[in-house]
Every structure is written in C-alpha cells, then in structure tokens.
C-alpha cells in the first residue's frame, strides 16, 4: 500500500445518501442471529455510505475516496462487524435498558439499538481511516472553507 497522501481539505456540500433498503434492514436488525451474514453486510453498507459522504464533504479526490473505502474493507470491516454484532446483540439481553422497548416493539427497539451501536463507532471509524489515508502534520489536517451543516442553521 502506498503511503498516505498529504492533503489540504476543502469542505464541499454533499447530501448524505443512504442506499439501504430500510424494510430489509429492520428485518435483519430484528433477528441478527438468523441473518448474521446480512447483518455484517448491513454494517458494511452503512459504514461505506458514511465514509463516502465524509470523503465527499472533505473534497477528497476520487483516488483518495477509493483509498478510504479500500482501507475500511481491507483493514477494519472484519473486526468492526464483530464489535457491532456483539454490542447490538447485548442490547437484546433482558438486563438491557432497552429491553422493555425491545419487547414492546421489536422493530422499533431494534432500530434504536442499531442506531446506538453505530453512533458508538462512527467517529472512531472516520478518524482511524482518515488518519491512515491522509498524511497529517503533528496529527492535524489542514482544512479550509466554511463548514455548513443543517444544525448550523438552527437558531
């Protein structure tokens, strides 16, 4: 693998595009033991969509966007899918805080649990991969441009 490329970020507008069948994802999340391969693929698809979005927002060239996805698939997906699965299935445990919600509404509880697990790893995922793909100066990336998010528009 080539050494990371030095890069000056230019924030770009980019809408988040999630290319996942929501009904299918809910069914998988409702029974991850039965659909383990599908659960692993769901984790892959979600993480790749997040990484693509962040790469576009950072204004990365196509070659660096490809390197980000390749880094995830080659070096991070195998252990992350296990972490997601283990954390997710632990939330199904009857001692879990979400047990009542899960019991009352299997699909809604599964979606909340999946959201909780993914939020736990998203920043780590992005930081770990970007730090590997991009060369930093003392751990910092040079960025320019105005960062605008929908939250910035709130009063």
Mean pLDDT, 10 residues at a time, the chain of 155 residues: 56 71 83 92 93 88 93 96 91 55 54 79 88 74 58 46
pTM: 0.75
What residue has token string 């972490």? 83
Per-residue HEC secondary structure of 106-134 comes to HHHHHHHHHHHHHHHHHHHHHHHHHHHHE
**Closest to 130 measured CA to CA, from 138, 139, 121:** 139
Q: Which run of H or E residues covers position 143? A: strand 142-144
Supply the pLDDT for residue 84: 92
* 46-to-15, 38, 114, 123, 131 alpha-carbon distances in Å: 15, 12, 11, 13, 20
């Amino acid at each position: 693998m080539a050494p990371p490329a030095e890069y000056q970020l230019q924030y770009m507008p980019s809408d988040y595009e999630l290319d996942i069948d929501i009904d299918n994802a809910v069914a998988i999340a409702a029974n991850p033991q039965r659909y383990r391969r599908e659960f692993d693929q769901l984790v892959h698809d979600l993480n790749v969509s997040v990484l693509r979005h962040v790469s576009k927002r950072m204004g990365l060239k196509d070659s660096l966007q490809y390197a980000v996805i390749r880094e995830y698939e080659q070096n991070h997906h195998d252990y992350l899918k296990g972490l997601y699965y283990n954390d997710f299935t632990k939330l199904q445990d009857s001692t879990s805080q979400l047990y009542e919600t899960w019991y009352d509404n299997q699909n809604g509880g599964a979606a909340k649990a999946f959201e909780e697990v993914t939020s736990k790893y998203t920043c780590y995922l992005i930081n770990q991969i970007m730090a590997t793909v991009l060369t930093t100066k003392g751990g910092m990336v040079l960025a320019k441009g105005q960062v605008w998010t929908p939250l910035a528009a709130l009063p």
